[in-house]
Structure 1
Amino acid sequence: MAAIIDKIALIHIVNGQLLCARSKGKDIFYIPGGKREPGETDSETLVREVEEELSVQIKSESISYFGTFEAGAHGKSEGVLVKMTCYFADFEGELNPASEIAELAWLNYSVRDDLSPASQLIFDKLHEMGLLS
Structure 2
Amino acid sequence: MPVVLTLSALVIRDAGGRLLLVRKRGTSKFMQPGGKLEPGETFAAAAVRELEEELGIRVPEPELQDLGRWYGPAANEAGTVIDAGIFACGLPQPPVAAAEIEELLWLHPAEAAGRTDLAPLLTEHILPLLAESETWAEHG
1:127 is displaced (CA, Å) by 1.8
2:121 to 103, 107, 118: 118
CA separation in 2, counterparts of 1:31 and 1:41? 18
Residue 19 of structure 1 aligns to a residue whose secondary structure is strand
**Structure 1 stretches of 5 or more lacking a match?**
none
Could you tell me whether the CA contact under 8 Å between 2:29 and 2:76 is conserved in 1?
no
- Tell me if the contact between 2:12 and 2:91 (Cα under 8 Å) persists in the aligned partners: no
Among all aligned residue pairs of Structure 1 and Structure 2, give the percentage whose two residues are the same amino acid: 30
SS of 1:126's partner is: helix
Equivalent residues in 2 for 1:84-103 (5 A)? Answer: 84-103=84-103
TM-score (ref. length: structure 1)? 0.87
Is there any run of 5+ residues in structure 2 with no aligned partner, and where? 136-140
Q: Distance in 1 between matches of 2:91 and 2:10?
A: 10
TM-score scaled by length of structure 2: 0.83
Root-mean-square deviation (CA, aligned residues, Å) is 1.8
Runs of 4+ in 1 over 3 A off after TM superposition: 91-94
CA distance in 2: counterparts of 1:27 and 1:2, whole angstroms: 21
| CA distance, structure 2, for counterparts of residue 18 and residue 88 of structure 1 | 11
Q: CA deviation at 1:37?
A: 0.3
Higher percent of residues as strand: 1
